[in-house]
Amino acid sequence: MTSRVIQCQRSSDGSTIKLLVELQGGQQVESVIMAYDTTVAPPAIPAPAAGGLQRGHQRATLCVSSQVGCAMGCTFCATGSMGLKANLSCGEILEQLIHASSLAKVRNIVFMGMGEPLANYSAVRDAVLALTDPELWGLARRHVTISTVGVLPRIRQLHQDMPGVSLALSLHAPSQELRCSLVPSAATWQLGPLMEAVRGYEEASGMRVFIEYVLLAGVNDEIVIRAVPPS
């Protein structure tokens, strides 16, 4: 192992554990174990001594990081303010799962931690292939989700290299102008061609693409407010 867990924070209800992982070079990334979809243990059942998830949370989703920092610069994201420090290797990505597996039975992997996964494409691709290899971790590909702000060439390549993997698009705005103000990288990949690529991925894979939208009061919520009828 080239990395180690230096901090472990556990939520009061036992459903979430945040791991701070130190890499070989001393840089740090975060991984988060989440178990919202199983039965929460009764208060009378104590947490495991090792700090794992409470009973009833044996199956979990792990949110992994793919980079130290991020070059996308999303204005609402703390990682975006760091800038890009380094790409994680395939091994460093997989070691996050090894660390998490000592605390929970991980059933799903989401690339939604630090970094833009499609900007570290080769390492993420190799990690996904290892995660879904029946001789290694053997996860079903539909249980692996890659979240992206929209690296257009890689979205077009994704289905060919990693068929069956779920895709999530961090949209956050209904227009190109507003999206550029929130997600600076949107200036490179225009909203029209991006949505065409998303539809192309859905057609090629037969899977729905998840749309992620962080609501910011007075910034990007007007269209949502108009869409919701008054009570």
Which amino acid is it at 133?
D
Rounded to whole angstroms, how far apart are CA atoms 25 and 3? Answer: 9
pLDDT digits (tens, 9 = 90+) for 170-224: 999 988 999 999 999 899 989 999 999 999 999 999 999 999 999 999 899 886 6
Burial of 226 (0-12, 13-18, 19+ CB in 10 A): exposed
Q: What is the DSSP string of 34-48?
A: E--SSPPPPTTSPPP
64 and 91 Cβ atoms separated by less than 8 Å: no
Question: 33: which strand partners?
Answer: 17, 62
* Structural domain range at position 58: 4-43+51-227
pLDDT at 228: 56
Give how many domains the chain has, as a whole number.
1
Q: Are strands 28-34 and 16-22 parallel, antiparallel or unpaired?
A: antiparallel
pLDDT digits (tens, 9 = 90+) for 3-39: 999 999 999 888 899 999 999 999 999 999 998 654 4
Give one word for 116, left, alpha or beta, with left for phi > 0 and alpha for psi -120 to 50: beta
CATH number, domain of 188, equals 3.20.20.70
Q: Tell me if residue 13 falls in helix, strand or coil.
A: coil
For residue 144 the two structure tokens come to 């692996």
| Residue 41: pLDDT band with limits 50, 70, 90 | very low
pLDDT at 44: 36
27 and 3 Cβ atoms separated by less than 8 Å: no
Element (H, E) at 93: helix 90-101
pLDDT at 53: 55
End-to-end CA distance of the chain: 55
